[in-house]
Structure formats: structure tokens, C-alpha cells
Structure 1
Amino acid sequence: MPDPLEAGWNNEAVCEVVEDNAKIRVLKCTFAPGVGHEKHYHNPHFGYTLAGSQFRIKDTTGIREVNVPTDYSFSKEAISTHEVLNIGDSTAVFLIIEYK
């Protein structure tokens, strides 16, 4: 299964590396309306929403639709997997900070 950098949408990259050093890797992931992120895994990480939208999320708990607001932060302490799709009408941008 790909990590968030390797995973894309319809063979197009959605994330880019902003910083990569001995302690962290920072990704900036951008999702225009109708663009998602194929199923992928995340190592433990902290995330921050630079610009929010509405998403359909599919993970181990099922499928749900959520509004992800701008300036929202989240974190996971364990490896996780999911697939997402921006079903809103605005472009969403996230920073993902992965711990090494």
C-alpha cells in the first residue's frame, strides 16, 4: 500500500514534500473539488488544514462525510489507512507532519 506521497488520484500526485530531515517529513497535499487520495497508509503524524472543504472518507470504520474546517488540526499516534474524496466546492490544502 502506498504512503501519502506515493498515493495520488487518477495517476496524478496530490502531495509534495515541503521538508524532509532526520526528524520529520512535511507534506503539502492539495485537493480540488472532485479530487481525492487513493487508499494509502499514514505513519504517526500531525496534520493541519490550511484550507478546508467537505470530504467523503473511507477507512476501517466505514464511509462517512465530514466538513473539514480551515485551521483544523488532527493527529494519529498509530499507523492508519484511508481513502478520501473532496466532495465540497472549494480546494482543500493540508500539511501532514510525519514523525521519523
Structure 2
Amino acid sequence: MRLKFLLFVSILLFTFHCENKTNLPDPLEAGWNGQAVCEVLEENKELRVLKCTFPPNVGHEKHYHNPHFGYTLAGGKFRITDTTGTREVDVPTGYNFKNDSITQHEVLNIGKTTAVFLIMEYK
């Protein structure tokens, strides 16, 4: 019985993992109103580094992220919608963040300055 339960949970988690990756674009594929917001700075077999730029009133359509580390080159004010809801956040220059699992969200720069992020995705 325990083995059946573990198998069921494993299948459920695998299905959720695959759905996240197949139903949503990754951060490079996602853009805003048909325009790209991220560019590849470096890519190799272990890492992909993206630079994502958000002028005022520009966002990032709903997308997923593989495990990643991020660094804010130029901060700003964002409206973020993710699995926990929608909130407004001031992201300061020099702020860093990390996720060890696949995540999904959409963002909109609601501030008056252009915000720029580096995203380092682990492969």
C-alpha cells in the first residue's frame, strides 16, 4: 500500500513538473506584448544567464523558471502575481534572490524607472 501511495505521489509531482514546463514559456520565450524582455548573456551545459530589462509599464507575461539565482542590477517597483496571489514590491538595486524549485509568475513594472535583472538558471 505504501509503495502504491509513493508511486501515485511521484506521478502527481512529475505531472505537475511537466505541466509547468509545457504549458508556460520560459523567461526567454516569454515577453511583453510580443516583445522580448530578456536576452541570453551566456549559455553552456550547466548554466544560462539572462539579462531582463523592464522599462516603466513593461512586464513579463506569465512564465516558469527552472531553479535559479537572480541579481537586481537596477531596482524598481513591481506588481507580481504568482501562486500566492498578487502583491506590489519595491525591489532595490543590489537585491538577490534564489529558488531551488520550478516557479511561475508574471510581473509588471509599475514604477517610474527601468529595472534590470540578471537571472542565472541551473541546468
TM-fit CA distance, 1:63: 0.2
- Of all paired residues, the percent bearing the same amino acid is 74
TM-fit CA distance, 1:21: 0.5
Whose helix proportion is higher, 1 or 2? 2
The 2-side partners of 1:75 and 1:91 are apart by 22
The 2-side partners of 1:98 and 1:60 are apart by 20
**What's 1:63 paired with?**
86
Letter of the 2:30 partner, please give it: A
**What's 2:4 paired with?**
none
The 2-side partners of 1:23 and 1:15 are apart by 19
1:4-83 to structure 2, matched below 5 A, reads 4-83=27-106
The 1-side partners of 2:45 and 2:102 are apart by 19
The 1-side partners of 2:47 and 2:101 are apart by 16
TM-fit CA distance, 1:22: 1.1
Give structure 1 stretches of 5+ with no counterpart: none
TM-fit CA distance, 1:25: 0.1
The 2-side partners of 1:63 and 1:25 are apart by 28
The 1-side partners of 2:119 and 2:88 are apart by 20
Letter of the 1:9 partner, please give it: W
User: How high is the TM-score relative to the length of structure 1?
Assistant: 1.00
The 1-side partners of 2:77 and 2:70 are apart by 16
What do you get for the CA RMSD once the two structures are aligned? 0.3
Paired positions, count:
100
User: How high is the TM-score relative to the length of structure 2?
Assistant: 0.81
Give structure 2 stretches of 5+ with no counterpart: 1-23
TM-fit CA distance, 1:47: 0.1
Letter of the 1:73 partner, please give it: N
If asked which structure has higher relative contact order (CA below 8 Å, sep 6+), I would say 1
**What's 1:92 paired with?**
115
After the TM superposition, which segments of 4 or more aligned residues of structure 1 sit over 2 Å from their partners?
A: none
**What's 2:15 paired with?**
none
